[in-house]
Structure 1
Amino acid sequence: MQVVTKRFLLLAAMVFLAGCTLPRGAGMVKEILKEQDKDAPSFQVVEVTRANVAALRKWPATGWAGGYRWLSGSRGPAGTLIRPGDVVDLVIWDSQENSLLTPNGDKVVEMRGLVVSPTGDIFVPYVQDMRINGLSPQAAREKIQEALLPVSPDAQVQLSHRSGQSNSADLVSGVAKPGAYPLEGRNITILSLIARGGGISNKLRNPLVRLIRSGKTYEVRADDLFANASKNVVIRGNDKVLVEEDQRYFTALGATGREELVHFEKEQLTALEVLSIIGGLSDSRANPKGVLVLRDYTAKQVRRDGKGPEMQQVVFTFDLTTADGLFAARKFEINPRDTVLATESPVTAVRTIMSLLGTAIGLGTTINDNI
């Protein structure tokens, strides 16, 4: 009687479990990719190997431009250059009697607060408009004094210069002291400007330095800016500098160490680096043959020549149980807004069934013993 009861309960449990969907943290590979066998699938499946990973790296970037664009680190002139909006003070000495420059018997005339016009000129009596834009203060002084020779051969000119609004740069955010900073010299670099503002806030995660110049935006990661001297570009008037957190992210799901939205820690991340960041694969749940990366392309990025995605939605698959798959994962770059999914191992379902069957048999024995 006991044997019959146990067999009956075992058979009933197997039939019941066969018709049930067992609770899991993620789907299995066959479940997720079963649509690829249809006549008209809605997504493309690409197995990533060492043979094709180099070609895949040339596919269009998604989620961002594919790299940060930055200026070359050219150095500017060592001295100050006069720009429109700057303020110039002139003091002119003339020892001549009845001088046109110094009336009423005075030997000196002061002309202070001369604002350089948008065209780069200032007005000097008897000389009219004098173009001094782009000159150093010394060169501007010599040019004005030479222009005054026909009027007063003995005139001596003194010139002082102050940077104006157009000869300053704005530190907008991400520093202790944001604000407008005059560029007294024309050799002030972006790191010097950030230092004036108190440095980058230590509250920012993975800071990104953004420079807005002449209607164009340039970006560089702060750690790259600190490490590479060639990226320490010279600041120009009207530049705007913002320091912000890098907002690029990917999503980790399934049988991984972390299931969450994860921000990029550096400019480029490979699939293997991403798995390390999220704590790897779950030893008891994950299927190392079924690591997937889900990515969306735009309609304009779809190609039919084999040199790009054939559909807008693409699933990249990795087999991390082989050296080929591991080397491919080391080279495959993760794009912002990708989804990294570790599928469940079939063994997990078997273990769950066996555990449930064991519980059912134990229950059947208990029932049988009470009869």
Structure 2
Amino acid sequence: MISLRFRLTKGAALLAAIAVVASCGLPRSGPTKSEIFAGSVMEDGDAFVLLVDDRVNLVAGVTPALGFAAGFRDAASLGSDTIRPGDVLGLTIWENVRDPLLVPPGQNATVLEEVQVDGSGFIFMPYAGRIRAAGNTPEAVRRIITAKLEEQTPDPQVQVRRLAGDGSTVSVVGAVGAQGVYAIERPTRTLASMLARAGGVAIQPEIAQVTVVRGSHSGKIWFEDLYDHPGHDIALRAGDRIFVEQDTRSFTALGATGSQSRVAFESQTISAIEAIAQVGGLATNLADPTGVFVFRNEPEEIANQLVGRSDLVGTQRVIYVLDLTEPNGMFMARDFAIRDGDTVFVTEAPFSQFNKTISAVFGTLTSVKSATTALGG
């Protein structure tokens, strides 16, 4: 009788010790699944908790697209001989008369080198006056000069050459092989050819973004889209600024994963499965595969579609739930697109907390057998 009472007393003491340890708040990587669900609007919280299915994937998978506006796409390529402000022209005039206007005595032609087009687009020609050059081709300028000189000398012969042009350049900076200022020439009239002229991109093409600034307008695309979608290979204009940079998007991984960190995107799109794989997968001795959560702030348009409402105003907190143990759970996670700023959190399995409690009381689970043996002794 004493032995039974002793065993019961020790058993009660053991249970009490386990209860005390469990109530003290054991170390863990984050909230439990039930604590996250408690934050739902259904439980007087301020977040919408949604189980991911095909419909949710369709709505939540919308990602901001990069591209150029019509003003960039519709601009025609500049001709290699189009004259612009800042260009330098070379002029040659022939006169077949005894008393020429411009040709020195004893010669049959005069050469005017380095005639620069001013900021307003004009040049000055003796006896012809101020002539509009910008926007014209050398041939058009030749005809204008010829017409003006014909009024003062018979049958003048004029040649106009475009020698150089400070006004027909673009600047290329950022993650390229050779930053610098480059002229728009016949081989470099478009964005792709100009980037090639600058040595190409110096980062992984998958995460390279190209921004073009033209006056007060700008557009950004993925570098790979220059080749996948030729319409993005826009024609360049004088003064364009081209900037190549690495994708700055990232997500945060926390909880029972191989590592917990802020992770940069390695491609244009990343699925939930890929995001988990990037941080070492689920921790096999801790993770609960039924409790993979993605925390995100959704704009009101998407939030209203997700919950079937129309009265939500402003950014809404949404928690997406992925259960990898469901028949199609892995497919849902594969199709769920991670976005910039997302937090991916994997909860710990209930057994891991129980294991921690037992370990805190006995040191290891192996000690339970010894304790049971002691109680029976």
TM-score normalized with structure 1 length: 0.83
In the other structure, the counterpart of 1:348 is 352
Structure 2 vs 1, CA of residues 239 and 308 (structure 1 numbering), >3 Å: closer, same or farther?
A: farther
Counterpart Cα distance in 2 of 1:308 and 1:284:
43
Structure 2: stretches of 5+ with no match in the other structure = none
In the other structure, the counterpart of 2:173 is 172
SS state of the match for residue 84, structure 2?
Answer: coil
In the other structure, the counterpart of 2:65 is 67
SS state of the match for residue 243, structure 1?
Answer: strand
Residues 84 and 119, structure 1, Cα contact 8 Å, conserved in 2: yes
Higher helix share: 2
Counterpart Cα distance in 1 of 2:170 and 2:155:
40
Is 1:222 matched with 2:223? yes
Moved more, 340-349 or 360-369: 360-369
**Match for residue 330 of structure 1 among 334, 338, 343:** 334
SS state of the match for residue 355, structure 2?
Answer: helix
**Match for residue 54 of structure 2 among 45, 50, 56:** 50
Residues 167 and 239, structure 2, Cα contact 8 Å, conserved in 1: yes
SS state of the match for residue 76, structure 1?
Answer: coil
Counterpart Cα distance in 1 of 2:22 and 2:276:
33
Structure 2 vs 1, CA of residues 267 and 354 (structure 1 numbering), >3 Å: closer, same or farther?
A: same
Counterpart Cα distance in 2 of 1:337 and 1:331:
18
Structure 2 vs 1, CA of residues 191 and 183 (structure 1 numbering), >3 Å: closer, same or farther?
A: same
Question: How far 1:167 moved relative to its partner?
Answer: 0.8
Counterpart Cα distance in 2 of 1:281 and 1:18:
24
SS state of the match for residue 329, structure 1?
Answer: helix
RMSD across aligned positions (CA): 3.4
SS state of the match for residue 113, structure 1?
Answer: strand
- The structure showing larger relative contact order (alpha-carbon pairs under 8 Å, at least 6 residues apart) is 1
SS state of the match for residue 273, structure 1?
Answer: helix
The CA deviation string for residues 171-191 of structure 1, in whole angstroms up to 9 with x for no partner, is 122223212112233852323
| Identity, % of aligned positions | 30
Counterpart Cα distance in 2 of 1:184 and 1:40:
65
Moved more, 257-266 or 31-40: 31-40
Counterpart Cα distance in 2 of 1:365 and 1:318:
39
Question: How far 1:132 moved relative to its partner?
Answer: 2.6
In the other structure, the counterpart of 1:270 is 271
Residues 301 and 308, structure 1, Cα contact 8 Å, conserved in 2: no
Counterpart Cα distance in 2 of 1:191 and 1:237:
16
- Structure 2 letter corresponding to 1:348: S
Residues 188 and 194, structure 2, Cα contact 8 Å, conserved in 1: no
In the other structure, the counterpart of 1:76 is 77
Is 1:31 matched with 2:31? no
TM-score normalized with structure 2 length: 0.82
Structure 1: stretches of 5+ with no match in the other structure = none
In the other structure, the counterpart of 1:247 is 248
Question: How far 1:288 moved relative to its partner?
Answer: 1.8
Counterpart Cα distance in 2 of 1:358 and 1:308:
54
In the other structure, the counterpart of 2:288 is 287
Moved more, 279-288 or 133-142: 133-142
In the other structure, the counterpart of 1:339 is 343
In the other structure, the counterpart of 1:207 is 208
In the other structure, the counterpart of 1:317 is 321
Counterparts of 1:65-104 in structure 2 under 5 Å? 66-70=64-68, 71-72=72-73, 76-77=77-78, 79-102=80-103
- Structure 2 letter corresponding to 1:255: A
Residues 122 and 133, structure 2, Cα contact 8 Å, conserved in 1: yes
Residues 293 and 316, structure 1, Cα contact 8 Å, conserved in 2: yes
SS state of the match for residue 234, structure 2?
Answer: coil
The CA deviation string for residues 280-305 of structure 1, in whole angstroms up to 9 with x for no partner, is 32222222221111112468987597
Residues 49 and 319, structure 2, Cα contact 8 Å, conserved in 1: yes
Counterpart Cα distance in 2 of 1:279 and 1:309:
37
Question: How far 1:357 moved relative to its partner?
Answer: 5.2
In the other structure, the counterpart of 2:194 is 193
- Structure 1 letter corresponding to 2:66: Y
Residues 302 and 308, structure 1, Cα contact 8 Å, conserved in 2: no
- Structure 2 letter corresponding to 1:176: G
Counterpart Cα distance in 1 of 2:34 and 2:375:
40
In the other structure, the counterpart of 1:306 is 309
**Match for residue 41 of structure 1 among 17, 20, 45:** 45
Counterpart Cα distance in 1 of 2:206 and 2:160:
47
Residues 285 and 344, structure 1, Cα contact 8 Å, conserved in 2: yes
Counterpart Cα distance in 2 of 1:251 and 1:134:
52
In the other structure, the counterpart of 1:258 is 259
In the other structure, the counterpart of 2:183 is 182
Structure 2 vs 1, CA of residues 189 and 261 (structure 1 numbering), >3 Å: closer, same or farther?
A: same
Counterpart Cα distance in 1 of 2:230 and 2:375:
81
SS state of the match for residue 89, structure 1?
Answer: strand
